[in-house]
């Protein structure tokens, strides 16, 4: 009972310290907001407005119809029509055009003669991703044009239908998992700074001579980080749903259960780093050393399935991996408790390990 | 501290035409974010061939004045000429003949003594062919010749200061500016530093300007500038200032068996007594004015054996210049509680030792502190007193020996044992972004106080420590004096049985130190046991028991009287604690049969 009272005192103090210190307030509010907007608007895999140049040797109705079809697509922006192949290298080198569409002189003639006509695409391969996607879009447009020209031709048609994300919006994919990533950054920074701050301000000894045990101190230090993390996650979910139009098909309870277990694991890492650090700067540095690989190995931006096998197995110990997968499942699929149950034991296990490590390091460094 | 008669003001007054090296006229300087200016119309001169002291309470503007003179800060108003030019101009021209030693001299701790000298010679452009000779001179002067290769980080505090001084002397300055060079330095090194300064002034005729927190040092200066809140309070020879309070100082001998602290509390109740401090077991009183009535009053006190008029020191003169008497909150508490200083041992230490790897920081320390006692841990930096202190409050595990605090083993029942302890760290160490009241609430609650009791205690300490006016201000933004009082308030909020204070008066001005000791005495009188570390030798006079430490070992232990008695001899008929410390640490006196161990 007395222990609970002391923990409560520490929690109140921690909240006051974070909210009254302009620097801590900044850590809690500004980076999440910036990350939310940056990821929401900028982190998209869709390719649109690719700069396109056209070299039309055919100069026919048929070629103009094809060019009009391409230019009308949102994926391309026609920036120039050129009349000599000599201009192409300079155009691509300077990056003025990413893609050049070259239409053969015989294009219209061949079509009329019932032969297959040839269209060439030159793409700037320096950005392989954009080049590949742009070529894919272009061949699709060309195929549609061919189909329009010869509707009677027999062919196999692929009817696409993407489940859960009908428009294949990569924003849903990114923003849906964003709360987990941002919560990690906030919780990690808050907890990584909390003990280091006491050391730097010299208040650590003052805290250690109180009747508080090291377990009480760690609990008191962990709670504010988790609470701030949950509050920010809630704000980000609401922002994602109402601002970016991400669907919410699951239940609030499952989202917060996942995020809570995830925060526990992160708080453990943060407190471990903080116990180790002598100064706030060291704490901050330590937090970033952990944050970078954790994000990259989480499947947040690049699919885990593309990683080498040994690395894929390594991601099983990454708490963010589980949280990202759960959030996407809950938001986009409407997964319930039963569907995410598989990630609860690993999250619990990771939290148990990180929290024990933090307690061990804290005891080691405080006596 | 013995006084060289040649340093007396009268001698210097005979040649007041010595060249003026530094002249400030109506100098002002303020800092953003602080309403009061740091310097406010200061007129000041320093001449060649003499030491000019700058004294004043914290925040008086001592450091600002020195920094302006060194060309590091620009004045906002008024003018200053150093060696006939604007400060900083000579430095830029590369012809600087000014040495400046800031409070923390930037020695390169990983370099050796000789390497540091070399580096500073490079920085100051000392020609190569002059170096060998100059280095030898300076190493001889500072007595560091045997330590050429030792890393600066491994030097003692006093040796570091001497090396810093040597580095500032490389270019043979004509004017030397020193900012509190003796703070935190052990008495032996402090004496050495002053000898060096005296030699420099006598042999090379340079001018020295020295800011100091030690008022006995001001007495050694040819002229003293007294600053307070950026203004000049006085600027004169120490003798002139001392003369102003002639006849107003009494040395009062307590009746045998009466602790000096008890008599001090009694004397401070008299409104005519401006200041009263314990010196060598006697009470030194500064009276508001000299009247026979006050003398009769003092001599009539039951605790007084005798009273005599004595020559004033600079400290008396300084105290007389202060506008108000130091706050004596709590001093009025009945001192009857002292009688309950039963033989109950609150702290028992046996064979205490601490090793860090190969390094023995503390070894074979034993002592007992009884309820209501003030126990002083005394020694220079690096003597092991902070290590001992940290082991006592459970912040550091002991390598050897046993510690029982309030009857409990701190290692086995830490939480419960700590509940009865109060702790005040050396530097301000509360939460800067929390207000005074929020800080108090947190510490109260973490010691299990709550509800009405917590509210009542907070109200009490707000009054007791005079914090009410700023109760809702951020602790990080209140003046240092308030921060110190807040730290102490937080430490005693839960009414601990034992109070640990680590260098509570470090960096505090004489007024704040007096105020502090008045409070500590009052707490002890109420039955609180107090353990305090300090490097101010005179403060030990207020302790009941003192442990003198040097190099991790006990040098002597006992009451201030007993410690002084160790050093008494034909050479020193009336030694102070500082004399005793010097004699003991230089091996001149060895603790023998009369040592405190022989006490019952």
Instruction: Give the C-alpha separation, B15 to B48, whole Å.
Output: 11
- Using the Cβ of A26 and the Cβ atoms of chain B, whether some distance falls under 8 Å is answered with no
Q: Given this model, what pLDDT does residue B508 score?
A: 73
- The rounded percent of chain B whose pLDDT value lies above 90 is 16
Does B73 lie in the same domain as B199? Answer: yes
For residue B316, give its domain range: 245-325
- Burial of B435 from C-beta contacts in 10 A (0-12 / 13-18 / 19+): buried
Looking at chain A from residue 149 to 178, which residues have their Cβ under 8 Å from any Cβ of chain B? none
DSSP letters along B380-444, please?
-TTSSHHHHHHHHTTSS--SEEEEEETTEETTTSHHHHHHTEEEE-SS--S-TTSBHHHHHHHHH
CATH of the domain at B193: 3.40.50.300
> What radius of gyration, in Å, describes the C-alpha atoms of chain B?
25
- Inform me whether the pLDDT recorded for A358 exceeds 90: yes
Does B118 lie in the same domain as B24? Answer: yes
Query: Does residue B594 lie in a domain region?
Result: no
Query: B480-492 and B510-525 are packed helices; what angle lies between their axes, rounded to 10 degrees?
Result: 10
Q: What is the pLDDT of residues B32-67, one digit of tens each?
A: 766 678 889 899 989 989 999 998 877 788 888 999
- Across the range B210-226, mean pLDDT stands at 89
At a CB cut-off of 8 Å and minimum separation 6, what does A294 contact? Answer: A184, A318, A319, A320
Q: How many CB atoms lie within 10 A of CB A335?
A: 20
Does B232 lie in the same domain as B93? Answer: yes
- Using the Cβ of A210 and the Cβ atoms of chain B, whether some distance falls under 8 Å is answered with yes
Please choose, from the candidates A340, A364, A362, A360, the residue with its C-alpha nearest in 3D space to the C-alpha of residue A352. Answer: A360
Q: What is the pLDDT of residues B381-425, one digit of tens each?
A: 677 888 898 888 888 888 888 888 887 777 776 777 788 889 998
- Using the Cβ of A1 and the Cβ atoms of chain B, whether some distance falls under 8 Å is answered with no
Lookup: tokens for B479? 């003046």
The pLDDT-based confidence of A323 (bands split at 50, 70, 90) is: very high
Q: What is the pLDDT of residues A61-119, one digit of tens each?
A: 888 988 998 888 888 888 888 888 888 888 888 888 888 999 988 888 888 887 888 88
What is the CA A136 to chain-centroid distance, rounded? 24
Instruction: Give the C-alpha separation, B279 to B517, whole Å.
Output: 14
Q: Given this model, what pLDDT does residue B341 score?
A: 46
Q: Do residues B258 and B301 touch, judged by C-beta distance below 8 A?
A: no
Stated as kind and residue range, the H or E segment containing B502 is: strand B498-502
Q: Given this model, what pLDDT does residue A158 score?
A: 67
Mapped onto helix, strand or coil, the DSSP state of residue B578 is helix
The pLDDT-based confidence of A167 (bands split at 50, 70, 90) is: low
Q: What is the pLDDT of residues B137-154, one digit of tens each?
A: 899 888 888 888 888 888
- Inform me whether the pLDDT recorded for A187 exceeds 70: yes
Write the CATH number of the domain with boundaries A50-149: 3.40.1710.10
Average the pLDDT over each of A41-45, B193-197, B276-280 and give the range with the smallest value.
Answer: A41-45
Q: What is the pLDDT of residues B496-543, one digit of tens each?
A: 999 999 888 876 777 788 888 888 888 888 889 999 988 777 788 888
Does B285 lie in the same domain as B209? Answer: no
Please choose, from the candidates A123, A125, A143, the residue with its C-alpha nearest in 3D space to the C-alpha of residue A76. Answer: A123
More confident residue, A60 or B509: A60
Q: Given this model, what pLDDT does residue B512 score?
A: 80
Q: Given this model, what pLDDT does residue A188 score?
A: 92
- Across the range B224-239, mean pLDDT stands at 90
- Using the Cβ of B506 and the Cβ atoms of chain A, whether some distance falls under 8 Å is answered with no
- Across the range B278-297, mean pLDDT stands at 83
Q: Given this model, what pLDDT does residue A290 score?
A: 92
Query: Does residue B207 lie in a domain region?
Result: yes
Query: Does residue B389 lie in a domain region?
Result: no
- Across the range A2-16, mean pLDDT stands at 91
Does B448 lie in the same domain as B474? Answer: yes
Contact B429 A367 (CB under 8 A): no
Cα nearest neighbour of B451 on chain A: A5
What is the CA B533 to chain-centroid distance, rounded? 11
Query: Does residue B439 lie in a domain region?
Result: yes
Q: Given this model, what pLDDT does residue A367 score?
A: 66
> b/e map of B449-461 (b: 16 or more CB within 10 Å)?
beeeebeebbeeb
Query: Does residue B381 lie in a domain region?
Result: no
Please choose, from the candidates B226, B322, B212, B231, the residue with its C-alpha nearest in 3D space to the C-alpha of residue B38. Answer: B231
Contact A213 B414 (CB under 8 A): yes
Q: What counts of helices (H) and strands (E) characterise chain A?
A: 15, 4
Q: Given this model, what pLDDT does residue A340 score?
A: 86
Q: Given this model, what pLDDT does residue A156 score?
A: 67
More confident residue, B36 or B600: B36
Contact A20 B443 (CB under 8 A): no
Q: Choose the final residue of a domain: B236, B256, B286.
A: B236
Contact B442 A205 (CB under 8 A): no
Instruction: Give the C-alpha separation, B7 to B210, whole Å.
Output: 15
CATH of the domain at B277: 3.30.70.920
Q: How many alpha carbons fall within 13 Å on the CB side of residue B534?
A: 25
The pLDDT-based confidence of B6 (bands split at 50, 70, 90) is: very low
Q: Given this model, what pLDDT does residue A13 score?
A: 92
SS (H, E, C) B504-547: CCCCCCHHHHHHHHHHHHHHHHCCCEEEEEECCHHHHHHCCEEE
Q: Given this model, what pLDDT does residue B7 score?
A: 43
Does B76 lie in the same domain as B120? Answer: yes
To the nearest whole Å, the CA of A220 is away from the closest chain B CA by: 11
Of A16, A209, A211, nearest to B434 by CB-CB distance is A16
Q: Given this model, what pLDDT does residue A269 score?
A: 94
- Using the Cβ of A57 and the Cβ atoms of chain B, whether some distance falls under 8 Å is answered with no
Query: Does residue B44 lie in a domain region?
Result: yes
> What radius of gyration, in Å, describes the C-alpha atoms of chain A?
28
Lookup: tokens for A100? 């050049």
Q: Given this model, what pLDDT does residue B340 score?
A: 47
> C-alpha angle with apex B523: B519 to B529, nearest 5 degrees?
130
- The rounded percent of chain A whose pLDDT value lies above 90 is 28
Instruction: Give the C-alpha separation, B146 to B157, whole Å.
Output: 16
More confident residue, B477 or A275: A275
Query: Does residue B224 lie in a domain region?
Result: yes
Structural domains in chain B (count): 3
- Using the Cβ of A206 and the Cβ atoms of chain B, whether some distance falls under 8 Å is answered with yes
What is the CA B188 to chain-centroid distance, rounded? 15
Does B204 lie in the same domain as B135? Answer: yes
Mean pLDDT of chain A, nearest integer: 87
SS (H, E, C) B186-252: CHHHHHHHHHHHHHHHHHHCCEEEEECCCHHHHCCCCEEEEEECCEEEEEECHHHHHHHCCCCEEEE
- Inform me whether the pLDDT recorded for A40 exceeds 50: yes
Instruction: Give the C-alpha separation, B281 to B70, whole Å.
Output: 42
Q: What is the pLDDT of residues A128-147, one digit of tens each?
A: 878 888 888 888 888 888 88
> b/e map of A303-318 (b: 16 or more CB within 10 Å)?
ebeebeeeeeeebeeb
Does B44 lie in the same domain as B173? Answer: yes
Query: Does residue B383 lie in a domain region?
Result: no
Q: What is the pLDDT of residues B119-137, one digit of tens each?
A: 988 888 888 888 888 899 8
Instruction: Give the C-alpha separation, A269 to B523, whole Å.
Output: 44
Average the pLDDT over each of A38-42, A160-164, B157-161 and give the range with the smallest value.
Answer: A160-164
At a CB cut-off of 8 Å and minimum separation 6, what does B171 contact? Answer: B96, B97, B99, B124, B125, B126
To the nearest whole Å, the CA of A164 is away from the closest chain B CA by: 48
Q: Choose the final residue of a domain: B199, B215, B236.
A: B236
Q: What is the pLDDT of residues A259-282, one digit of tens each?
A: 999 999 999 999 999 999 888 889
Q: What's the farthest any 2 CA atoms get from each other in chain B? A: 76
The pLDDT-based confidence of B330 (bands split at 50, 70, 90) is: very low
Please choose, from the candidates B214, B225, B321, B172, the residue with its C-alpha nearest in 3D space to the C-alpha of residue B23. Answer: B225
Does B293 lie in the same domain as B225? Answer: no
- Inform me whether the pLDDT recorded for B477 exceeds 50: yes
Instruction: Give the C-alpha separation, A140 to A154, whole Å.
Output: 17
- Inform me whether the pLDDT recorded for B209 exceeds 90: yes
Query: B436-446 and B480-492 are packed helices; what angle lies between their axes, rounded to 10 degrees?
Result: 20
Please choose, from the candidates A115, A89, A121, the residue with its C-alpha nearest in 3D space to the C-alpha of residue A103. Answer: A121
The pLDDT-based confidence of B333 (bands split at 50, 70, 90) is: very low
B214-219: long-range pairs with CB below 8 Å, 24+: B214/B182, B214/B190, B215/B55, B215/B313, B215/B314, B215/B315, B215/B318, B215/B510, B216/B1, B216/B313, B216/B314, B216/B315, B217/B1, B217/B53, B217/B182, B218/B53, B218/B55, B218/B314, B218/B318, B219/B1, B219/B3, B219/B313, B219/B314
Does B437 lie in the same domain as B318? Answer: no
Q: Tell me whether 0.85 is exceeded by the ipTM.
A: no
Instruction: Give the C-alpha separation, A94 to B380, whole Å.
Output: 72
- Across the range B23-40, mean pLDDT stands at 83
The pLDDT-based confidence of B191 (bands split at 50, 70, 90) is: confident
Does B170 lie in the same domain as B89? Answer: yes
Residues in chain B, how many?
Answer: 600
Does B165 lie in the same domain as B54? Answer: yes
- Inform me whether the pLDDT recorded for B488 exceeds 60: yes
More confident residue, B406 or A53: A53
Contact B433 A213 (CB under 8 A): no
Q: Do residues B495 and B456 touch, judged by C-beta distance below 8 A?
A: no
Which chain B residues have a beta carbon less than 8 Å from that of A17? 431, 433-434
Which of B394, B417, B442 would best serve as a mutation to test chain A binding (most A beta carbons within 10 A)?
B442
Residue B370: strand pairing partners: B345
Residue B347: strand pairing partners: B369, B405
More confident residue, A320 or A175: A320
Q: Given this model, what pLDDT does residue B540 score?
A: 83
């Amino acid at each position: 009972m007395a222990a609970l009272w002391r923990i409560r005192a520490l929690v109140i103090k921690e909240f006051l310290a974070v909210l009254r210190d302009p620097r801590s307030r900044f850590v809690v509010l500004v980076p999440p907001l910036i990350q939310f907007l940056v990821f929401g608007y900028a982190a998209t895999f869709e390719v649109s407005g690719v700069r396109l140049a056209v070299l039309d040797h055919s100069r026919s109705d048929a070629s103009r119809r094809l060019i009009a079809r391409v230019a009308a697509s949102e994926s391309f922006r026609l920036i120039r029509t050129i009349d000599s192949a000599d201009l192409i290298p300079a155009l691509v080198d300077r990056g003025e055009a990413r893609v050049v569409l070259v239409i053969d002189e015989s294009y219209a003639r061949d079509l009329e003669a019932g032969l297959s006509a040839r269209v060439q695409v030159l793409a700037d391969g320096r950005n392989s991703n954009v080049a590949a996607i742009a070529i894919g879009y272009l061949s699709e447009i060309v195929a549609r044009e061919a189909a329009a020209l010869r509707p009677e031709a027999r062919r196999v048609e692929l009817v696409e239908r993407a489940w859960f994300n009908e428009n294949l919006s990569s924003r849903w994919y990114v923003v849906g998992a964003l709360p987990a990533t941002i919560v990690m950054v906030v919780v990690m920074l808050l907890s990584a700074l909390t003990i280091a701050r006491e050391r730097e301000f010299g208040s650590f000894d003052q805290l250690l001579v109180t009747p508080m045990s090291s377990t009480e101190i760690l609990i008191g230090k962990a709670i504010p980080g988790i609470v701030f993390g949950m509050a920010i996650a809630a704000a980000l979910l609401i922002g994602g749903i109402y601002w970016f139009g991400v669907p919410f098909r699951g239940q609030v309870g499952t989202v917060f259960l996942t995020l809570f277990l995830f925060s526990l694991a992160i708080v453990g890492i943060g407190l471990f780093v903080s116990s180790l650090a002598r100064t706030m700067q060291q704490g901050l540095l330590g937090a970033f050393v952990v944050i970078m690989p954790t994000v990259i190995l989480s499947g947040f931006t690049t699919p885990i399935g593309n990683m080498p096998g040994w690395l894929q197995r390594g991601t099983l110990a990454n708490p963010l991996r589980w949280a990202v997968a759960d959030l996407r499942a809950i938001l986009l699929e409407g997964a319930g408790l039963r569907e995410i149950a598989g990630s609860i034991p690993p999250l619990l296990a990771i939290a148990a390990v990180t929290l024990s490590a933090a307690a061990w390091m804290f005891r080691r460094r405080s006596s | 501290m013995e006084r060289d008669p040649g340093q007396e003001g009268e001698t210097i007054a005979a040649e007041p035409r010595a060249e003026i090296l530094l002249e400030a006229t109506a100098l002002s300087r303020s800092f953003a974010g602080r309403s009061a200016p740091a310097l406010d119309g200061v007129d000041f001169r320093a001449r060649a061939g003499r030491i000019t002291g700058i004294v004043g309470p914290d925040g008086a503007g001592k450091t600002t004045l020195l920094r302006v003179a060194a060309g590091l800060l620009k004045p906002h108003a008024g003018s200053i000429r150093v060696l006939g030019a604007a400060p900083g101009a000579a430095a830029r021209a590369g012809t600087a003949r000014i040495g400046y030693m800031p409070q923390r001299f930037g020695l390169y701790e990983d370099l050796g003594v000789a390497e540091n000298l070399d580096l500073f010679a490079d920085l100051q452009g000392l020609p190569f062919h002059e170096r060998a000779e100059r280095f030898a001179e300076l190493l001889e002067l500072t007595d560091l010749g045997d330590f050429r290769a030792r890393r600066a980080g491994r030097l003692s505090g006093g040796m570091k200061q001497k090396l810093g001084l040597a580095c500032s002397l490389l270019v043979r300055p004509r004017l030397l500016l020193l900012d509190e060079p003796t703070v935190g330095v052990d008495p032996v090194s402090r004496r050495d530093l002053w000898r060096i300064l005296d030699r420099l002034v006598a042999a090379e005729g340079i001018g020295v300007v020295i800011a100091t927190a030690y008022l006995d040092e001001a007495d050694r200066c040819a002229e003293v500038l007294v600053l307070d809140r950026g203004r000049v309070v006085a600027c004169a020879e120490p003798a002139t200032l001392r003369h102003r309070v002639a006849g107003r100082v009494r040395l009062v001998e307590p009746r045998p068996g009466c602790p000096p602290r008890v008599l001090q509390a009694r004397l401070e109740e008299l409104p005519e007594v401006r200041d009263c401090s314990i010196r060598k077991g006697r009470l030194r009183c500064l009276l508001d004015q000299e009247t026979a009535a006050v003398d009769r009053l003092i001599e009539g006190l039951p605790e007084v054996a005798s009273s005599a008029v004595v020559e004033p020191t600079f400290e008396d003169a300084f105290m007389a210049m202060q506008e108000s008497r130091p706050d004596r909150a709590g001093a009025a508490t009945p001192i009857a509680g002292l009688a309950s200083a039963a033989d109950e041992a609150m702290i028992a230490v046996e064979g205490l030792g601490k090793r860090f790897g190969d390094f023995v920081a503390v070894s074979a320390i034993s002592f007992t502190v009884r309820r209501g006692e003030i126990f002083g841990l005394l020694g220079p930096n690096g003597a092991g007193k902070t290590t001992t202190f940290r082991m006592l409050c459970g912040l550091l595990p002991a390598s050897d020996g046993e510690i029982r605090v309030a009857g409990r083993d701190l290692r086995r029942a830490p939480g419960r044992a700590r509940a009865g302890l109060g702790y005040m760290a050396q530097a301000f160490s509360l939460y800067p972004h929390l207000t005074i009241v929020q800080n108090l609430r947190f510490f109260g609650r973490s010691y299990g106080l709550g509800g009405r009791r917590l509210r009542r205690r907070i109200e009490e300490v707000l009054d007791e420590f005079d914090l009410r006016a700023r109760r809702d201000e951020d602790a990080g933004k209140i003046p240092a004096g308030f921060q110190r009082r807040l730290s102490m308030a937080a430490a005693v909020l839960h009414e601990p049985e034992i109070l640990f204070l680590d260098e509570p008066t470090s960096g505090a001005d004489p007024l704040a130190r007096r105020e502090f000791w008045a409070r500590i005495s009052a707490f002890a009188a109420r039955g609180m046991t107090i353990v305090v570390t300090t490097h101010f030798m005179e403060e030990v006079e207020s302790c009941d028991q003192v442990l003198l430490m040097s190099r991790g070992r006990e040098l002597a232990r006992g009451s201030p009287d007993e410690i002084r008695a160790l050093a008494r001899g034909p050479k020193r008929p009336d030694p102070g604690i500082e004399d005793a410390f010097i004699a003991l640490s230089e091996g001149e006196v060895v603790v023998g049969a009369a040592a405190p161990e022989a006490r019952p």
